Amino acid sequence: MSERVDAPVRPRAAAVAATFCAVALLTALELIVVGLEMDRAARITTLAGLLMAKVGLVLVVFMRAREGRPAVRLALTAIVLAAGAAIVLMLETIFRVGVR
């Protein structure tokens, strides 16, 4: 006998609209940060943080990452740790180049 396969659950229209507005707001914030007079290291860290927030939104809402299996959660944890390590390495490089 064949097993019943449920159709994939799509996010509701309200969730999609809210996510789109949030991503658009984060993009606007990125454009504002680029124009601000601030230290280069602070600008890079802020932009990387905004990027991570946008990626997190897309993963959670559109890819339904929080409903996944343990392997998916492990992969998401690895992505977050890799992004954090990249930010630390960028800041360290900027610090080393700036200090003479």
Distance from first CA to last CA of the chain, Å, rounded? 73
Per-residue tens of pLDDT for the chain, all 100 residues: 556 666 566 668 888 889 899 999 999 999 999 999 988 877 887 888 888 888 888 877 777 666 667 777 777 788 888 888 887 887 787 777 775 5
pTM: 0.65
Residue 15, CA distances (Å) to 6, 21, 44 in order? 21, 10, 30
Contact in structure between 61 and 15 (CB atoms under 8 Å): yes
